[in-house]
């Protein structure tokens, strides 16, 4: 009689363990499903993956670069629209002049127009490795803030249709007169230019 009781007890315990195990599996599955169906990048599935990557990269650069005052230096009541590619200050629309793919404040458009500009270095930028780009942009700003050394960075996107991807290149320009100086400074940065 006692033996039968033990047997029933053992069977009950086994069933209990089985039920608990099953519950664990169910909870685990549910959690996993929630994770994969969470509103993530899936929302952007209509955007080409390379463009999504570009957006991500732009967000990263934006987040990691210290912003100057957002008000126009000439019109303190106006919120700046874009930064001047030379001095990095935000200016309102009225104070900016577009040139090539960039914008310059009136003063620095004059500087750009009255000098010959040459390419110093090109840096390929990736989402995984945007540090070099961030470093170049920050350092370029420091050269200006400290020594009034004028440089600008043009961004190029190379679209490779055959292999279906977009590459981003940051191209640093300096005046021809200051090329040697800027070249040396770039070498001191540890950012391995493309060429
Ligand atoms: Zn400027
Ligand atoms: Zn202004």
pLDDT, one tens digit per residue, over 13-22 is: 888 888 888 8
In a domain, 30, yes or no: no
Q: What is the mean pLDDT of the chain?
A: 84
Residue span of the structural domain in which 167 resides: 48-188
- pTM for the whole thing? 0.63
In a domain, 180, yes or no: yes
In a domain, 12, yes or no: no
In a domain, 193, yes or no: no
Q: Are 95 and 75 in contact (CB under 8 A)?
A: yes
Q: Which ligand is nearest to the CA of 112?
A: 1
**Residue 54 tokens, joined:** 């570009």
Q: Which ligand is nearest to the CA of 97?
A: 1
In a domain, 36, yes or no: no
- The confidence band for 54, taking pLDDT boundaries of 50, 70 and 90, is confident
What's the number of domains the chain is made of? 1
Q: Are 84 and 94 in contact (CB under 8 A)?
A: no
Q: How far is the CA of 103 from the centre of ligand 1 (A)?
A: 9
Q: How far is the CA of 10 from the centre of ligand 1 (A)?
A: 83
pLDDT of 41 reads 45
In a domain, 39, yes or no: no
Helix (H, G, I), strand (E, B) or coil at 89: coil
Run of H or E including 15: helix 2-37
Q: Which ligand is nearest to the CA of 89?
A: 1
**Residue 1 tokens, joined:** 């009689």
- Average pLDDT for 130-142: 90
- The confidence band for 10, taking pLDDT boundaries of 50, 70 and 90, is confident
In a domain, 126, yes or no: yes
In a domain, 20, yes or no: no
């Amino acid at each position: 009689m006692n033996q039968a009781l033990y047997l029933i007890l053992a069977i009950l315990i086994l069933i209990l363990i089985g039920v608990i195990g099953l519950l664990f599996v169910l909870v685990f599955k549910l959690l996993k499903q929630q994770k994969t169906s969470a509103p993530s990048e899936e929302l952007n599935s209509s955007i080409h993956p390379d463009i999504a990557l570009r957006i991500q990269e732009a967000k990263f650069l934006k987040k990691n670069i210290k912003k100057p005052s957002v008000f126009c230096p000439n019109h303190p009541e106006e919120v700046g629209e874009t930064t001047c590619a030379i001095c990095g200050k935000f200016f309102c629309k009225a104070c900016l002049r577009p040139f090539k793919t960039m914008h310059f404040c009136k003063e620095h458009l004059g500087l750009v127009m009255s000098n010959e500009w040459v390419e110093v270095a090109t840096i390929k930028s990736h989402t995984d490795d945007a540090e070099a780009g961030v470093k170049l942009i920050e350092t370029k700003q420091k050269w200006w803030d400290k020594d009034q050394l004028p440089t600008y960075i043009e961004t190029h996107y190379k679209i490779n249709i055959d292999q279906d991807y977009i590459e981003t290149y940051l191209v640093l320009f300096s005046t021809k007169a200051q090329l040697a100086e800027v070249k040396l400074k770039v070498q001191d940065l540890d950012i391995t230019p493309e060429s």
